[in-house]
Amino acid sequence: MKCSFLRGITVAAAAILVSVGSLAGAQGNAPAAPPTPSSTGAPSGKADPLPSWNRGASRDAITAFVKRVTTRGGKDFVPLPERIAVFDNDGTLWAEQPMYFQLAFALDRVKALAPQHPEWKAQEPFKSVLAGDLKGVLAGGERALMEIIASTHAGITTEEFEGVVKAWLASAKHPKSGLFYTQMVYQPMLELLGYLRANGFKTFIVSGGGVEFMRGFAEKAYGIPPEQVIGSTGKLKFELREGKAVLLKLPEIQFVDDKAGKPAAIQAQIGRRPIAAFGNSDGDLEMLQWTASGPGPHFSLYVHHTDAEREWAYDRASSIGKLDKGLDAATAGGWTVVSMKDDWKRIFPSPR
């Protein structure tokens, strides 16, 4: 498990210890239960399919590309089976500050399991987690994080884990906004997913996050079914329990779906090069480069976090979602870079 996955978690945890600004733009107080996203399906009639997008170059680039590849008889027409669009998750479809939401899940899971493990009160790194001492957790390095991930993500079946994730998402709230984590999906990106699907695209998540974690909410949050979610994977073990076949999650990493791993995973699991790719960090760069290197029409887009009032503003110097080489590549390649501040009318869905 000593890999970039754990190093990413280490960086994420460290980021909690620094000030990242307030989320002044969080829209309203959280309701009693997480709402259903307001626009994950296909737009109907002649209604504006992208109502949360400001008119401008970014929106025009999206609609022009979709028109080109869906106009039958046009030189750039793309048949339905080849209309593949891939999306990163953290920072692209939902927020990722001040730490990756899956790390928040793991830390909360330690607290939830603590009554079953009284020894954790005196055993690091659990002692530090229970005391809220993140400096103490980080002092243990990758080994400490290995123990946390193993204790919170393994030793149960895939079905049990899915249930745990759904229960956590139904109750846990973001430390800055006070919103449920599933309320912190980006409304403009929900509309974009629906717009693409209405025009014959098949949409996939390709993220460095844990695949079983994301499958616990992706269909309800984004309209993306579990078979279209690609992520980092842990090893699984087949077992028969009282005559019932189950898959047990093991405390070992199988594959890290980040950076160069993303195009490799796309090829292995989808079998087609995407014609559209969407990300927000250098971890998505290779996925966007591979998409942009395709033989036909293609579209690469970065979501740039530029709105310190309604969300966060960060890029080249950030410890989470760093966008440095990707910005340079976007400029050189003529890719679309969406400014949250300038291109989006709103960030999050309206609370219900």
pLDDT digits (tens, 9 = 90+) for 165-217: 999 999 999 999 999 999 999 999 999 999 999 999 999 999 999 999 999 99
| Residue 208 burial (C-beta neighbours within 10 Å; 0-12, 13-18, 19+) | buried
Largest CA-CA distance found in the chain, in angstroms, rounded: 70
Intra-chain end-to-end CA distance of the chain, in Å: 41
What domains does the chain contain, in order, with CATH numbers?
4-99+175-233+253-343 (3.40.50.1000)
For 249-275, the three-class secondary structure string (H helix, E strand, C coil) is EEEEEEECCCCCHHHHHHHHHCCCCCC
Task: Show the CA angle centred on residue 213, arms to residues 271 and 217, nearest 5°.
Answer: 90
Residue 250 C-alpha from the chain's centroid: 23
CB atoms within 10 A of CB 124: 16
Q: 241 and 265 in contact (C-beta within 8 Å)?
A: no
Edge-to-edge strands, sheet with 229-241: 244-255, 229-241, 202-210, 84-87, 276-279, 299-304, 336-339
Summarised one tens digit per residue, pLDDT across range 248-293 is 999 888 999 999 999 999 999 999 999 999 999 999 999 999 999 9
Q: Would you mind telling me the total number of residues written for the chain in this entry?
A: 352
Beta bridge partners, 239, equal: 246
Render each residue's pLDDT in the chain as its tens digit; 352 residues: 444 445 555 544 444 443 333 343 333 333 345 545 544 444 445 799 999 999 999 999 999 999 999 999 999 999 999 999 999 999 999 999 998 999 899 999 999 999 999 999 999 999 999 999 988 887 888 788 878 988 899 999 999 999 999 999 999 999 999 999 999 999 999 999 999 999 999 999 999 999 999 999 999 999 999 999 999 999 999 999 999 999 999 988 899 999 999 999 999 999 999 999 999 999 999 999 999 999 999 999 999 999 999 999 999 999 899 999 999 999 999 999 999 999 999 999 987 6
Handedness of CA 219, 225, 227, 229 (dihedral sign): negative
**Per-residue pLDDT, 46:** 77
